Amino acid sequence: MSDQATRPVASAAKSLPKKAAFDFRKYRPFAFAPLLPDRTWPSKTLEKSPIWASVDLRDGNQALIDPMTIEQKMRFFETLVEVGFKEIEIGFPSAAQVEFDFARKLIEENHVPDDVTLQVLVQAREHLIARTFESLKGAKRAIVHVYNSTCRIQREKVYGKDKDEIKEIAITGAKLLVEYAAKYPETEWVFQYSPESFSQTETEYAVEVCDAVCDVWQPENGQEVILNLPATVEASTPNVFADQVEYFCRNLAKREHVTISLHTHNDRGCAVAAAELGVLAGADRIEGTLLGNGERTGNMDIMVMAMNLFSQGIDPELDFSNMSEIVQVVSECNNLPVHPRHPYIGELVFTAFSGSHQDAIKKCLDYNEKHIEETENVWDVAYLPIDPAHIGRSYQDVVRINSQSGKGGVAYILQRNYGFNLPRWMQIDFSGVVQKQAETAARELQNDEILQTFEDTYLQQGSFELLDYTVNNKGGKVYFNGQVQMNGDTINIDGTGNGPLSSFIDGLAQHTGKSIHVINYAEHAINPQHSDVNSDGNGIDDGTNTDNKTNANAAAYIQLNVDGEVYSGIGTCSSTVSAMLKGALSAFAQAVNTAAA
């Protein structure tokens, strides 16, 4: 044996570098919460939609590995217009030629509807501001959004300036906007200012800076002004951000003359919550992106916030009824995938695998269909906050089946997709069959697999077939006479009972010598859209079996006790009588085949 084979192997712990300590003591609690013991926002509720401003083409675009081309930005812009956005930030024209060219294309080629306002971003520097106004020449109405950072960490470590010096940058930027706007009087100008990193700025200082900007712009004299409060880095819980917003709104000198806007980011995963609470705290306007694309962990997802309002019966004033196409445009232009659990639009967000969830969904939908007047057609379904149909989603994927699924989910799929409304005892019986199949496959089962298993288990009699029959009423009794094929032999069946089913069962028992009793029976009409499911047209209502229709208009569910064991079967046919007899024969065939095996 070689030295290589006998040499001891070094332990993994010794061969890998030691991990740095996961030391929470390196961090400090959030330190910029204003003192607001009489806060009012917790007692308020959202009652209307805020003003929406999409920043997909700027903030969203800056966050992409490969920024959008002009063609992609144009496609995205047109989608935003179709959704209903009236304020759209189109880019940072002073930062790159493609950004400047896109602004010019929109204006010179008349792509901007009269009721849509373009918005652009610019730092508080004169040469950048000059270039920005040049990019907007000829626009009917435009928002010029100027900003500079005001938070402590950037004042001290990035700019090396004190509070007064940082405020002066903001004042200078505000004056430059007034100066350059005067050079383009044909455009209706809206001025917007952001104290960048408002979320990490002392709130009273943010008010001081914005008051100084308003003193330059004089919104009380008619100049339209937006003050935008960015959570550039989400650093606190949403309630603290709401306190910051309410404090700001209370203490801003010219609050009644300006629009307060919010621009939340998602570093803590709470951007939507922070925006919603911020509106309760007094904000009028929300900036964000569709699906939340943005720097680091992303921007506030306007689609989610708008749909949250929609789910509460509030008009979001944005149209997401064609959600699948909107999502396709966003994902293709951004070259980013959509998470399958993304709120409202993910592939799986309306899907239930859990058996208890599936059962509740099925029962709610069934109840609502039967009690339309009582429910006043108001959406009220367990586990589904909105009707998927409102955003262009079908019910096909509401319930999907794996090993965690239960009887309600299986029954839902068979009912919604194929027209089989299984009675409870049949649901219990078949759910066990499906669960075993899913466990064996170790994956989700497709709808067509479930249907095939259903047919194989209950609808296929194999070598058993109802060939021909008649039923006659004489002297208060029903007499059955017919032919049944069993394992290649044609058997004459004669029986007597109080109805077609009991007389047929009597005939089977006499011929086979088995003890046969009906335990459960149910039937229903099959919806016309599902009427082509596994029907051979055997039999008609009067029992003469002379038609050869190809549509199954009825389904019958039979559960038999055969020699002490329980078996279930289903029959479908244009005739309710034939469906019933075929269901009984299917259950009996299972008994015979099981005994033979």
Please state the residue numbers annotated as binding site for Mg(2+). Answer: 59, 263, 265, 299
Length of the chain in terms of residues written: 597
Closest CA relative to residue 362, chosen from 429, 449, 421: 421
CB 108 within 8 A of CB 138: yes
d(CA 578, CA 23): 75
Output the six-digit token pair for 260: 């307060």
CA 209/CA 194 separation, integer angstroms: 10
Total Cβ atoms within 10 A of residue 479:
18
Phi and psi (nearest 5°) for 54?
Answer: -85, 130
- Looking at this protein, which amino acid is placed at residue 435? Q
Q: What is the CA angle 563-568-570, rounded to 5?
A: 135
Exposed / middle / buried, residue 542 (Cβ in 10 Å: 0-12, 13-18, 19+):
exposed
Q: How far, in Å, CA of 316 to CA of 307, rounded?
A: 7
Which residues lie below 8 Å from residue 14, measured CB to CB, with a gap of 6+? Answer: none
- Contact call for residues 165 and 172 (beta carbons, < 8 A): no
Strands 464-474 and 285-288: unpaired
Residue whose entry in the numeric block shows the structure tokens 């992303």 = 298
Distances from the Cα of 102 to the Cαs of 27, 111, 545, in angstroms? 43, 11, 73
Question: Which has the closest alpha carbon to 53: 263, 332, 313?
Answer: 263
Show the 3-state SS of 381-446. ECCECCCHHHHCCCCCCCECECCCCCHHHHHHHHHHHHCCCCCHHHHHHHHHHHHHHHHHHCCCEC
The one-letter amino acid code at 585 reads L
List, in order, residues 6 or more apart from 131 with CB less than 8 Å away.
Answer: 93, 94, 100
Task: Name the amino acid, one letter, at 125.
Answer: R
State both tokens at 402. Answer: 């794996």
- Binding residues, as ranges, are 59, 263, 265, 299
Angstrom distances, CA of residue 333 to CA of 67, 82, 294: 9, 16, 14
